[in-house]
């Protein structure tokens, strides 16, 4: 835990993992549906894309799954022992949004391969976070911020 990050900019690590489990279930269901009903899979993936977008804009506490965790789960479990910063989580939600959007567009265009592959990438990332606590977007975040800093330095 960084000493420069305030408590308000951090969340209980169990919240994003809870959200990742729900996301995993939604994405698995999307892949199953895509074999039977492409419109249903498209609609479900579009809804997940909206959830990702909300998480990217508002942060994990105010995302739909974060609200469920905060209202229904957190009061029933032990107190917070470990926190993580919000910024990498918001970036991870943005990455999830990009994959879900690509999958939705692929399904809408009739390309089940594009839709399935994009959904599969999002599923892989969500499952890694849910099962092992490895947030791929969070791992990539420092690299992206470094490139943004380098880009600003070269244009200044």
Q: For residue range 65-104, what is the model confidence (pLDDT) as tens digits?
A: 999 999 999 999 999 999 999 999 999 999 999 999 999 9
Residue 1 lies in a domain: no
Give me the domain span that covers residue 93.
11-155
pLDDT digits (tens, 9 = 90+) for 23-32: 999 999 999 9
pLDDT of residue 149: 75
Residue 118 lies in a domain: yes
pLDDT band for position 6 (50/70/90)? low
Residue 120 lies in a domain: yes
Residue 143 to residue 130: CA distance in whole angstroms: 22
Structure tokens at 24: 């995993």
Residue 75 to residue 111: CA distance in whole angstroms: 43
Residue 61 lies in a domain: yes
3-state secondary structure the chain: CCCCCCHHHEEECHHHHHHHHHHHHHHHHHHHHHHHCHHHHHHHHHHHHHHHHHHHHHCCCCCHHHHHHHHHHHHHCCCCCCEEEHHHHHHHHHHHHHHHHHHHHHHHCCCHHHHHHHHHHHHHHHHHHHHHCCCHHHHHHHHHHHHHHHHHHHHC
66 backbone dihedrals φ, ψ, rounded to 5°: -65, -40
Q: Hunting for tokens 């998480």 — which residue is that? A: 55
Q: Is residue 66 a contact partner of residue 15, using CB atoms and an 8 Å limit?
A: yes
Residue 106 lies in a domain: yes
pLDDT of residue 1: 41
Q: Is-above-0.85 flag for pTM? A: yes
What does the pLDDT average to over 25-42? 97
Residue 36 lies in a domain: yes
Q: Is residue 20 a contact partner of residue 126, using CB atoms and an 8 Å limit?
A: yes
pLDDT of residue 146: 86
Residue 6 lies in a domain: no
Total residues found in the chain within this entry: 156
Residue 2 lies in a domain: no
Q: How many domains in the chain?
A: 1
């Amino acid at each position: 835990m960084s000493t420069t990050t305030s408590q308000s900019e951090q969340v209980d690590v169990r919240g994003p993992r809870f959200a990742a489990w729900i996301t995993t279930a939604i994405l698995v269901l999307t892949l199953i549906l895509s074999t039977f009903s492409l419109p249903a899979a498209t609609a479900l993936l579009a809804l997940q894309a909206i959830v990702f977008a909300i998480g990217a804009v508002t942060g994990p506490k105010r995302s739909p799954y974060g609200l469920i965790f905060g209202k229904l789960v957190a009061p029933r479990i032990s107190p917070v022992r470990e926190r993580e910063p919000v910024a990498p989580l918001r970036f991870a939600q943005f990455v999830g949004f990009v994959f879900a959007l690509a999958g939705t567009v692929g399904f809408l265009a009739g390309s089940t391969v594009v839709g399935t592959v994009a959904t599969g990438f999002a599923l892989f990332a969500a499952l890694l976070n849910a099962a092992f606590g490895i947030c791929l977007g969070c791992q990539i975040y420092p690299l992206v911020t470094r490139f943004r800093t380098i880009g600003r330095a070269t244009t200044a």
